[in-house]
Amino acid sequence: MIPRIKSFETCDDWKLFVTFDDGFRVSYDVKDDIDTHDEFKSLTTEIGLWSAAQLDTSRTCIYWNDRIDLPSDIIYEYGEPLV
């Protein structure tokens, strides 16, 4: 089953704080993706792009534009659990 995102927020240090429908909460560091995926580099160069993050209608993906997105299952699996 694909985890659905209930809410999220972006932080200035390239981290996402994400809450899933099942109550699981994580901090996901997007800096690793910025360092390894060329598409993500524009998050650091295009003014305002980082804060323009959106949740898709299925609530299974956070995206910034048509080239940059993060599936919820990746965030769920690799995010740092918050207690």
Q: Where are the domains of the chain?
A: 5-81
For 30-39, the CB contacts below 8 A with 24+ separation are: 30/70, 33/70, 39/67, 39/68
Going from the first residue of the chain to its last (83 residues), give the mean pLDDT of each consecutive group of 10, the final group possibly shorter.
Answer: 96 96 98 96 97 98 97 98 94
Best CATH choice for the domain 5-81 from the list 3.30.2020.40, 3.40.50.150, 3.40.50.720, 3.30.70.2190: 3.30.2020.40
What is the 8-class DSSP label of residue 65?
Answer: S
Q: Which residue has the tokens 């997105």?
A: 69
Q: Which residue has the tokens 């800096």?
A: 31
- Looking at residue 83, what is its pLDDT? 86
Distance CA 83, CA 76 (A): 14
pTM of the entire predicted model: 0.94
- Looking at residue 1, what is its pLDDT? 85
